Amino acid sequence: MWIKRDISKIISENKDPIQIIRGPRQCGKSSLILHLDPEFKELSLDDPALRELAQNDPELFLEQFKSDKIFIDEAQYAPALFPSLKRKIDLYKRNSNRKIQTIVRMTGSNQILMDRQVKESLSGRASFFDMNTLSIAEILQARECTIQDILYTGGWPELHATKSLNSKKFMDDYINSYVEKDIVLSAGIQKSREFLKFVKLLAGRVGELLDLSGFGNEVGVDAKTIKEWVSVLERMHIIYLVMPFSSNLSSRLIKSPKVYFIDTGLACRLQGWTSAEPIMTSPQQGHLFENLVFSELYKTSINGQLNFEIYHWRTRDGEEIDFIVHFAPNQFKLIEAKVTPRNLRDVSGSLELKKVFKNKIPDFIQVHQNGSQVLGKNVPIALLKKNILNW
């Protein structure tokens, strides 16, 4: 079963000679490229023979597989390719009358390795697209599924396209191959056991303020190491730090970021869940649902290249708002995530918010799990993307 991806149109319409699609393993990068245009010739550098040729003789590699449309999967494994591609692009740019003969689409799941090559060779010479796992909107367009199941399974395309797959085994294999091996090796992490312990602890604290020293004490490493590991997980599209909304008008805000996993399925498995049902009565449900709301906001922004910014709000006096979304100049929305719809909290009396927003407090929206219609400022999460696009 093919699940339509929101980013499809943006990639299809791009005509630049080099296009790089980034994102974690198994998020659907290769499948999307071949679905959008089957004429692309796939060259996977997971193949040792192809990887050796691309690395040892990149010019021969590009000439041997010459085609109008080339798709190089896991291109980061042959860094020698990038200078050759750079020379081709520079030659094309110097000759304004020359037509583009070849479009090269490249994917990379190892963002650390990919960044090294791109910064050195292709900076300013390629178009970049970030892909994530499926959003709630993408899943529900393709199949019927409860929000709780999406929260537990996440947005991994294979799990939604092939119902017979065991999600627990899928995620265990993913953690073993990508988190424990790929990330550890590419980032040069020496303390692999401590790193995995940290990742599991981090998954258990989604939606909470990031405490580097606290994690360091629990894992047995210093805060500097924890900070480096957080940066690695960010670059590999595993987690995202939501920074506090700050203003010079207010000095009583908590300045620590909150941490979220980009895919809740990975967070749930790292927490140890083996099915969706027990989550519904666990203390973790609220934070995991909040993470799901963040994920839908984030994926909607990335997939549509909307580039809005997401912040959180917490003051030393206990005032808290899950998300402040800055979606246009001087235009904001306040968002709170609640598993079940409740009476909307009145924030109109907040002196801190009045200071920051000059007495014009933005709309306050509550995103919840249930329902099929928008009632006032209560929005079911299944319709969150639609509401974002109407902002």
| Residue 189: CB atoms within 10 Å | 16
pLDDT value, residue 375: 44
**Mean pLDDT, residues 353-369 taken together:** 88
For the chain, what is the domain count? 2
Do 140 and 126 share a structural domain?
no
Do 275 and 339 share a structural domain?
yes
Structural domain for 146, as ranges: 136-195+231-389
Do the domain assignments include residue 240? yes
- Better pLDDT: 322 or 118: 322
| Residue 119: CB atoms within 10 Å | 10
Long-range contacts of 59-65 (CB under 8 A, 24+ apart): 59/84, 62/88, 65/41
From residue 190, give the alpha-carbon distance in Å to each of 115, 195, 284. 21, 9, 31
Summarised one tens digit per residue, pLDDT across range 146-195 is 999 999 999 999 999 998 999 999 999 999 998 888 889 888 898 999 99
Which CATH number does the domain housing residue 51 bear? 3.40.50.300
Do 148 and 126 share a structural domain?
no
Using N-to-C axis directions, what is the helix angle for 223-235 and 192-203, rounded to 10°? Answer: 70
Question: Percent of the chain beyond pLDDT 90?
Answer: 57
CA distance 361 to 364: 8
CA distance 207 to 230: 15
Do 179 and 122 share a structural domain?
no
Residue 294 has pLDDT above 90, yes or no: yes
Do 153 and 72 share a structural domain?
no
The mean pLDDT of the chain is 89
Do the domain assignments include residue 224? no
**Mean pLDDT, residues 208-214 taken together:** 96
Summarised one tens digit per residue, pLDDT across range 54-109 is 999 998 888 887 677 889 998 888 888 888 888 888 877 776 555 555 678 888 77
CA distance 86 to 69: 17
Do 161 and 116 share a structural domain?
no
- E strand or H helix at 331: strand 331-337
pLDDT value, residue 372: 41
pLDDT value, residue 140: 94
Do the domain assignments include residue 174? yes
Do 248 and 288 share a structural domain?
yes
**Mean pLDDT, residues 319-323 taken together:** 93
CA distance 182 to 315: 39
Do 61 and 143 share a structural domain?
no
Do the domain assignments include residue 37? yes
Last residue of some domain: 90, 110, 130? 130
pLDDT value, residue 319: 86
Do the domain assignments include residue 209? no
Q: How many residues can be counted in the chain? A: 391
Residue 53 has pLDDT above 90, yes or no: yes
Last residue of some domain: 100, 130, 160? 130
**Mean pLDDT, residues 138-152 taken together:** 94
- E strand or H helix at 71: strand 69-73
Do 167 and 120 share a structural domain?
no
Do 355 and 282 share a structural domain?
yes
